[in-house]
Structure 1
Amino acid sequence: MSYAQKATCTFTVSSWSEEVYADIDGEGTTAGELYFPKRGLSRAAVGYTYSGDVEGTSTLVYLMGYRDGDDLVIGLERFEGSIGGQEGSCVLRHEAVHDATGVRGTATVVPGMGTGGLERLSGEAALEIAGHSETGYPLVLGYDLG
């Protein structure tokens, strides 16, 4: 779908708390204090901070299905701030796959969940993240304000 406007920004991870709730094989890897099952399910509570044409913060819950390197990621994110100068809040639905090289997917605005100047927002962003970054990840949101 095409949108009339584009918002270019950078987002950074301000918090990440992940917990495995199903470990299918009892096999996995540990990174720092986090354990990642080879096959299993986890839930992550995440905070993001946005700067640029999208300015604000969000809270997000991811559900992840680890399946030996080709992992499924779905989530709902509540953003509060401004997009293209319009203040308010909105909800984004994330659908992605994750492997050793990065994350690929989409974040789509959920209709009917916006407030303020973002009440009638519709839009979508492609997620293409390679590797870990301390300085943030670029994002371009195509959108309409209804």
Structure 2
Amino acid sequence: MTTTHTTTGKFTVTSWKEEIVIDVDGDATDVNGVKYPTRGFSRADTSYSYSGAIEGSGVVSYLISYRPGVAPVSGFEQFTGSIDGHDGTLVFQHVGEHDAEAVRATLHIVDGMGTGGLEGMTGEATINLAGHSDDGYDISLTYSL
């Protein structure tokens, strides 16, 4: 019998390196040393630190599209750590969107990519990064193991 659980935690961004891949109009704007295209996409290599019932670290590669209004974001993250006391690694596929206010995404656990106590875990998490936070952002994960 498979049981579904919901657990929560916090995560903080520990590193973010973003570079333009395509600048459709050639008019990128510089913000604090990072260039952002009006229309195009970039790649961001990012690290997260997790705390709470989800404890560990993650390494993410994002593709981020830019256009006026809401634009899609996708990526893959390898999580290493513990979820409700189950230790191991797994891979999240990030599927979401961003605008000038926030990044919103669903993180799907990729089947067949887990190790240790996280091998066989299925489920998804939701995140919403609105504004800058020194205290981290909430993550809610619903899973089966």
Confirm or deny a common fold (TM above 0.5).
yes
Q: Deviations over 1:87-146 (max 9, x none)?
A: 00000000111001111220010000000000011011122221111210011101111x
Any stretches of 5+ residues in structure 1 without a counterpart? none
Q: How many residues align?
A: 143
1:76, distance to aligned residue in structure 2 (A): 0.1
Query: Who is 1:134 aligned against?
Result: 134
Alignment of 1:1-40 (within 5 A): 4-40=4-40
Query: Who is 2:71 aligned against?
Result: 71
**25-34 vs 57-66, which deviates more?**
25-34
Any stretches of 5+ residues in structure 2 without a counterpart? none
Q: TM-score, normalised by structure 2?
A: 0.95
Using the alignment, how far apart are the partners of 1:28 and 1:132 within structure 2?
A: 22
Q: TM-score, normalised by structure 1?
A: 0.94
Query: Who is 2:81 aligned against?
Result: 81
Query: Who is 1:117 aligned against?
Result: 117
Instruction: Give the 3-state SS of the residue equivalent to 1:118 in structure 2.
Output: coil
Q: 4+ residue stretches of structure 1 with deviation over 2 A?
A: none
Query: Who is 1:41 aligned against?
Result: 41
1:28, distance to aligned residue in structure 2 (A): 3.1
Contact 2:29–2:36 (CA<8 Å) still a contact in 1?
Answer: yes
Give 1:14's aligned amino acid: T
CA RMSD in angstroms, aligned pairs only: 1.1
Instruction: Give the 3-state SS of the residue equivalent to 1:27 in structure 2.
Output: coil
Give 1:45's aligned amino acid: D
2:54 equivalent to 1:54: yes
Using the alignment, how far apart are the partners of 1:132 and 1:111 within structure 2?
A: 32
Instruction: Give the 3-state SS of the residue equivalent to 1:68 in structure 2.
Output: coil
Q: Deviations over 1:22-43 (max 9, x none)?
A: 1000123221000110001100
Using the alignment, how far apart are the partners of 2:116 and 2:100 within structure 1?
A: 39
**56-65 vs 100-109, which deviates more?**
100-109
Give 1:82's aligned amino acid: S
Give 1:95's aligned amino acid: V
State the identity %.
47
Q: Deviations over 1:65-97 (max 9, x none)?
A: 111232210000000000010000000000111
